[in-house]
Structure 1
Amino acid sequence: MTFQSPYAFGFILIILGVAALVTFFAYRNSGFDKPFNIVLPALRWIGLTAVGLLLLNPVIRDTSVTEERPLLIWLQDESESVILNEDSAEFVESYQEWANTSINRLEEKYDVLQYGFDKEVTAASGVFDGTASNIELAVREALLRLDGRNAEGIVLATDGITNSGRPLTSVQTNLHPIHSITLGDTSEYFDIQVVRLTGNKVAYTGNTTPIRLDFEVLGGTARSVNVALKSGGMQVAQQRVSVNNQRGSTTFEVSSDSSGIRVYSVEIEALENESNFANNSRTIDIEFTDKKKRILLVSQSPHPDIAAIRLPLLEDEANEVEVISMEGWSEANAPKYDLVVFHGVVPNGELAEFVEITDVSILLMTTVQAPFMEWEVSLNRLSGAPMLDRFADVTPRINESFGSFEVDQSWVRKLRSYPPLNAEIHGESSFGFWTPVLFADFGNVSTQTPLVALSEKEGRRLAWLNGEGWWRIRTYSYAEFGTHQPYDKWILGLYDWLLTKPGADRLEVEVPRNARRNEAIRFVARPKDEALNPVKNASVKFTVTRNGEPVAEQNMAEAGTGRYVSQLESLSPGDYRYRISTDIGGEVLSEAGVFSVSDIKLEELDTRARSKELAAISGNSGGVNVHFSQRDNLIDQLMDRETKVVLHESESTESLLSKWWPYVLILLVFTAEWALRKREGRV
């Protein structure tokens, strides 16, 4: 502890001198006998000096050192799959006793924080009743709590089964060691499970459409299995499917003579000695419709961007796509299409007139050779757009207020690391009549130039893709995600908007048609005004009934501009009806439909512990993986592990004026002087 003053040392000398001078004049002719002629002046000088020094506002500077022990986070999987194949009561009791003993032992060396998790992260409860598992979320939150601390890592006690959130392979392993204890069922029992069931979302009446099943055999062998296709509680078809290299697949062709949604379930016959039947079946729904959507792509010359906008359309047989060159264009044939796409086309008089007056939806894709200006000067329909002044390499930026269809914002943010688009930009602060989906960023400069934009006027819909290089975005998306789905999803959202008649989609809803018991079911609504702009602060009501009886009634919560969300959990198996409604300016918009909940628990679909995956996570992070039977080995290794204690030095300053004891000392000094003077009869 040290004393410091903001004033120079010379002020202290002045105070000492002034105190001595005042004392001298006070006691020069006092006539006190020894020792009072020394003690009394000394007390007076000490008191005056103390008062003077206190007026200089000295501060006390104190330095302290604290120890930070190594921090360890214990993550406990509390989902029900951990105990599905155990004598649950006995296991929970013995496991909790061991866990408490082990944590107490670790606390001799570490600071230990305990958390439990299923689909969310909470305080550890010791109750294994979670209906889903999100291991990646639990590890991510633990890493956030370790950030900036004297971290020694994470102890992850789990069976490795994750059926909520991101896959187990996405767990971050490059920050701190993750020590894992493999719980649950590690035996290789015989099991047949559905890997995937795929089919078209939309098919056409009178035509057949395929439903493909892929399955695998685990922990045993099978030469062939019976697979049944059912719909409406009736068996539609059955096949005997061969198994090769523990895998099998088959395809059913289905059809319908009437439009509407049909739900199909594929069931694999349970074999002898199979212990888990919950993953032997899966459902899929197909919407049968009477009319295909016809799309015409018109290009000035071949270009890879044409494939980037054409291939996503071919994934759905609801779309009939035709590609022609500008030479084959005929205005007479155009009205038979639902959408016409122009790529790199410089409009002539006939084409400009068609775009000006047509009711067919239009998508313009401009290029360096065919810039937007060529269209703007030819069409009154495009007047009022900002003047574009140059081409540049740009990256996309999401329009936060856009809500006409969903765009994955996390995917758009990743596009900054992809090759740029070569697009037109302008320096104005307005985007005119366009409703931007994506903006163009020029380096670190965020512009108001639309990169993808929509316009709707007098019942006619128009969209604009600004620039070239979309094929690179689709290719790089595939390289990063192993699928074109992120790119295809947003481009198909753009197509859906263009192919929907204005006014018919003023209340868009997203409702899963099939869900599993205990699964969180999410409902999304997007109401729009008459200009098809997202509506903020709307009152959106959501009701669910079963057999005419109310099950839930909620006001949907706004989550983003014009986007409203509700979520239901713990619905019992059965068929349900929903209704979503809202009042926009006195006009009631509503959507109703059905969905079903199957009697399958997420945690029962596959109960085998993921030993190899957990071992890989621990190995990649520098941690240790042990089976539950060797759990004490991990605790021993952690106790023997070399750790460090971090010393934190901190300084504190406090004004002496804020302390009470200087005033008491000064009072005591002057009191002592007064008492001695009184004793000598000089007061």
Structure 2
Amino acid sequence: MSPETILYIILAGVISIALAIFMYGYKSKETRRLRWVFGTLRFITLFSILLLLINPKFESETYTTEKPKLPVLIDNSASVAVLNQDGNVLELIQELKENSKLNNKFDLSYYSFGSEFQKSDSLSFSEKNTNISQALSSVNEIFKNQTAPTILITDGNQTLGSDYEFSSTNFKNPIYSVILGDSIQYTDLKIEQLNTNRYAFLKNQFPVEVILTYSGTSSVNSEFVITQGASTVYRSKVSFSEKENSSTLNFNLPANSVGLQKYTAQILPLDNEKNKTNNIKHFAVEVIDQATNVLIVSKLSHPDLGALKKSITTNEQRAVTFKKPLEAANTLNDYQLVILYQPDRSFAPIFSEIEKLDKNYWVIAGLQTDWTFLNTVQSNYKKNSSRQKEDVQAVLNPNYGTFAVEDLSFDDFPPLHTQFGELTISVPHEVMLEQTVSRIATESPLLATMEMNGKRNAIWDGEGFWRWRASSFLKTDSFQDFDGFIGSLVQYLASNKRRSRLEVSSETFYYNNNPIKISAQYFDRNYIFDNRASLNITVKNTETEKQAVFPMLLRNNFYEVDLNSLPAGEYNFTVSVADEAVSSSGIFTILDFNVEQQFLNADVLKQNRVSNNSQGKAYFATQTDALIQDLIENTNFQNIERSEQKVVPLIDWKYLLALIVLALSAEWFFRKYNGLI
């Protein structure tokens, strides 16, 4: 409190006393006792009111003690159970929860991880993947400004995400690893990796690459076999030793029948092998009798063309050919879709042939596009271009209903380059991506699709989308999202199939360690997407005849269901609409592959390195007492006393107002009691 405020309070006291004496001490007719009572009450009232007017401020300081955090990360993947460590984990967690000294010193919190990182409620040890890197990064973000040594309980075998040893280098707190399993090297033969195409063409051969590994000290011989049903389609003898402990086989298998062809690859186990699960892998190839051929016509060299080819050919059913305008006109009949990149007058024969053959086509415009020519050669859309450059971004139209499109956060992608001017479309169409400038909608489409008389085409008004593909990779560590977006657009444009009110999208086969999702779109009788419908999918296992019904959930402009709860097997499915005689059926196969069953022991060396690099320490599951004791005795982890200083004005002190009311009420009461009112 400042000296000036103290002076004001003293003056307020003097004034209050003076006024009270003047009112009840000078020529007052009340008795002496009443004068003292009334004078005291009036002094209290006046002094309190003056204090409120002065409003002095008081400083208060509170102290709180904060314990250091101790997050516990628990591996909830199936490999923990495979290594018979699930019981050890539960015992360890129980000891941590019951140790009073540890809980008095630390604020413990428990998290589990498998495919995803989450707060730990219960442990099932059934997760099909392990992402240790994501768990460490998440905890590092949650406790980034706090003292938080971390207990990492895992076997160290990661199947998903970036290398957690690299992620731990950015960790700000020590990591105390609890190693589940041992470092004993068992004799083991293993199919380390099997690579093949998802699709093959009828009467062709498809390549298969297999990497076999061996753990052991003696020389061994075995045989690698691939079977299809009861017949053997490939056989090869293999030999290993302590030094030559891997072998790579490359061969081709024939594609003689259309449809899904399932195979079993096996390296025959040794007599003393402990884990024989990793000796077998199932895989499948879908044999088709034709591919989707896409022609890209361009006279320019541009990074967009490379990005376009990569995105389209991600699906092996599609092939891309590049041609210049002069050499492409006579070959259009060999392709299901023609993409015209930045057309000018040299494209005139192409447009003439497209019109004659009734071909589906997709125009991509940019800075080199001749809009004067494009406006005259077709009548679907026009643009009054000023030939000036404009940078535009995109936002997804949530009401787009031609096919399912997932929002890739298009508005966060780098801007595309286009010619300044308004694009107007004069035929029935749907805008997929709307054009924006500085996040303000221009009411001009960036990407729109059209369908008339069974013929489909699209206009994309902007170049530089190769940056979108790169940006998508930076966000997700994968090109999959952007490639899937382009793939869906190509699939729609390349097809002449008549549009149905119920469109279902599914894969022919899935691996059970990956997401198993089926999506659908339902349209009303005017072919407008209906987001009020109720869709269900009925799934039936063809072997067990077991049937299940799942509701499909609405996601933006499509419905989706997650079927990861289904076991491996062959299934028939039917998607139906409630209260409507509309349905669509199909088949899919779930292939059994559990990567978590491929491990024989813990990755001890890596867990030791992770702990040492973060100034922590590694322990085996049998050393729980040593871990707890080290944490309790470590003087680097101490309680932090935090002080908080508050400045409180007197006007916020409600008791002073109550005192004024009480003093005035008491004075009124005494006056009334003594007949002075």
Matches within 5 A, 1:456-471: 456-470=451-465
1:42-86 C-alpha deviation (Å, 9 max, x unpaired)? 424434325645875969855423233322212222444324334
SS of alignment partner, residue 377 of structure 1: helix
Aligned-pair distance for 1:393? Answer: 4.9
Following the alignment from structure 2 to structure 1, what is the Cα–Cα distance between the partners of residues 358 and 286? 27
Question: 8 Å contact 1:299–1:325 — kept in the other structure?
Answer: yes
- Greater CA drift, 404-413 or 362-371: 404-413
Q: In the alignment, does 2:617 pair up with 1:636?
A: no
SS of alignment partner, residue 277 of structure 2: coil
In structure 2, the CA distance between the partners of 1:657 and 1:335, relative to structure 1 (3 Å rule), is closer
Residue 609 of structure 1, aligned match among 599, 602, 605:
602
Following the alignment from structure 1 to structure 2, what is the Cα–Cα distance between the partners of residues 635 and 404? 63
State the identity %: 21
1:77 aligned partner: 75
2:586 aligned partner: 592
Following the alignment from structure 1 to structure 2, what is the Cα–Cα distance between the partners of residues 298 and 182? 59
Question: 8 Å contact 1:227–1:239 — kept in the other structure?
Answer: yes
Following the alignment from structure 2 to structure 1, what is the Cα–Cα distance between the partners of residues 50 and 653? 14
1:213 aligned partner: 210
Following the alignment from structure 1 to structure 2, what is the Cα–Cα distance between the partners of residues 476 and 123? 31
2:262 aligned partner: 263
2:534 aligned partner: 539
Question: 8 Å contact 2:380–2:426 — kept in the other structure?
Answer: no
2:229 aligned partner: 232
1:494 aligned partner: 489
In structure 2, the CA distance between the partners of 1:529 and 1:137, relative to structure 1 (3 Å rule), is farther
Aligned-pair distance for 1:158? Answer: 1.5
Matches within 5 A, 1:649-664: 649=644, 651=646, 653=648, 659=654, 663=658
In structure 2, the CA distance between the partners of 1:191 and 1:361, relative to structure 1 (3 Å rule), is farther
Question: 8 Å contact 2:524–2:530 — kept in the other structure?
Answer: yes
1:379 aligned partner: 378
Following the alignment from structure 2 to structure 1, what is the Cα–Cα distance between the partners of residues 30 and 207? 120
2:200 aligned partner: 203
Aligned-pair distance for 1:544? Answer: 1.5
Following the alignment from structure 1 to structure 2, what is the Cα–Cα distance between the partners of residues 162 and 407? 32
In structure 2, the CA distance between the partners of 1:118 and 1:435, relative to structure 1 (3 Å rule), is same
Aligned-pair distance for 1:303? Answer: 4.5
Aligned-pair distance for 1:626? Answer: 4.2
SS of alignment partner, residue 274 of structure 2: coil
RMSD after superposition:
4.8
In structure 2, the CA distance between the partners of 1:32 and 1:574, relative to structure 1 (3 Å rule), is closer
2:281 aligned partner: 282
Following the alignment from structure 1 to structure 2, what is the Cα–Cα distance between the partners of residues 674 and 310? 95
Matches within 5 A, 1:621-632: 623-628=616-621, 632=626
1:507 aligned partner: 503
Write the letter of the residue equivalent to 1:185.
G
TM-score (norm 2): 0.80
Question: 8 Å contact 2:24–2:35 — kept in the other structure?
Answer: no
Following the alignment from structure 1 to structure 2, what is the Cα–Cα distance between the partners of residues 504 and 402? 15
Following the alignment from structure 1 to structure 2, what is the Cα–Cα distance between the partners of residues 155 and 429? 61
1:196-246 C-alpha deviation (Å, 9 max, x unpaired)? 333333322222222332333345576654222122354332222466853
Write the letter of the residue equivalent to 2:229.
G
SS of alignment partner, residue 290 of structure 2: coil
Residue 640 of structure 2, aligned match among 624, 641, 645:
645
In structure 2, the CA distance between the partners of 1:566 and 1:468, relative to structure 1 (3 Å rule), is closer
1:124-162 C-alpha deviation (Å, 9 max, x unpaired)? 567553333443454455345425x63424322222234
Matches within 5 A, 1:322-471: 322-330=321-329, 333-347=331-345, 349-356=348-355, 358-383=357-382, 390-393=388-391, 415-416=413-414, 421-424=416-419, 426=421, 435-438=430-433, 450-470=445-465
In structure 2, the CA distance between the partners of 1:480 and 1:112, relative to structure 1 (3 Å rule), is closer
Question: 8 Å contact 1:454–1:461 — kept in the other structure?
Answer: yes
1:611-630 C-alpha deviation (Å, 9 max, x unpaired)? 34444554565554444455
Question: 8 Å contact 1:71–1:110 — kept in the other structure?
Answer: yes
Q: In the alignment, does 2:190 pair up with 1:193?
A: yes
Write the letter of the residue equivalent to 1:214.
I
Write the letter of the residue equivalent to 1:565.
E
1:575 aligned partner: 570
Following the alignment from structure 2 to structure 1, what is the Cα–Cα distance between the partners of residues 410 and 605? 33
Write the letter of the residue equivalent to 2:263.
Y
Q: Number of matched residues? A: 667
SS of alignment partner, residue 491 of structure 1: helix
Following the alignment from structure 2 to structure 1, what is the Cα–Cα distance between the partners of residues 418 and 639? 55
1:392-432 C-alpha deviation (Å, 9 max, x unpaired)? 4556665555576676756868854xxx6533355789999
Question: 8 Å contact 2:389–2:418 — kept in the other structure?
Answer: yes
SS of alignment partner, residue 340 of structure 1: strand
Aligned-pair distance for 1:593? Answer: 0.9
Aligned-pair distance for 1:276? Answer: 1.7
Question: 8 Å contact 1:507–1:527 — kept in the other structure?
Answer: yes
Question: 8 Å contact 2:13–2:47 — kept in the other structure?
Answer: no
Write the letter of the residue equivalent to 1:541.
N
1:115 aligned partner: 111
Question: 8 Å contact 1:294–1:320 — kept in the other structure?
Answer: yes
Following the alignment from structure 1 to structure 2, what is the Cα–Cα distance between the partners of residues 390 and 292? 40
In structure 2, the CA distance between the partners of 1:220 and 1:593, relative to structure 1 (3 Å rule), is farther
1:296 aligned partner: 295
In structure 2, the CA distance between the partners of 1:675 and 1:395, relative to structure 1 (3 Å rule), is closer
Aligned-pair distance for 1:182? Answer: 3.5
1:333-376 C-alpha deviation (Å, 9 max, x unpaired)? 42342112223331455444444564322122334332445313
Following the alignment from structure 2 to structure 1, what is the Cα–Cα distance between the partners of residues 408 and 611? 28
In structure 2, the CA distance between the partners of 1:442 and 1:596, relative to structure 1 (3 Å rule), is same
Matches within 5 A, 1:109-188: 109-119=105-115, 124=120, 127=123, 129-132=125-128, 133-146=130-143, 150-163=146-159, 168=164, 171=167, 174=170, 176-177=172-173, 179-187=175-183, 188=185
In structure 2, the CA distance between the partners of 1:30 and 1:421, relative to structure 1 (3 Å rule), is closer
Following the alignment from structure 1 to structure 2, what is the Cα–Cα distance between the partners of residues 339 and 428? 23
Following the alignment from structure 1 to structure 2, what is the Cα–Cα distance between the partners of residues 615 and 434? 60
1:140-190 C-alpha deviation (Å, 9 max, x unpaired)? 55345425x634243222222344677646857535325141422232333
Question: 8 Å contact 1:520–1:569 — kept in the other structure?
Answer: yes
Following the alignment from structure 2 to structure 1, what is the Cα–Cα distance between the partners of residues 348 and 665? 106
In structure 2, the CA distance between the partners of 1:86 and 1:443, relative to structure 1 (3 Å rule), is same
SS of alignment partner, residue 276 of structure 2: coil
In structure 2, the CA distance between the partners of 1:31 and 1:445, relative to structure 1 (3 Å rule), is closer
Gaps of 5+ in 1: none
SS of alignment partner, residue 291 of structure 1: coil
Aligned-pair distance for 1:524? Answer: 3.0
Write the letter of the residue equivalent to 1:327.
L
SS of alignment partner, residue 274 of structure 1: coil
1:277-319 C-alpha deviation (Å, 9 max, x unpaired)? 2222222222222223333332224555444433555566644
In structure 2, the CA distance between the partners of 1:611 and 1:376, relative to structure 1 (3 Å rule), is farther
Following the alignment from structure 1 to structure 2, what is the Cα–Cα distance between the partners of residues 455 and 377? 18
1:105 aligned partner: 101
Aligned-pair distance for 1:553? Answer: 0.9
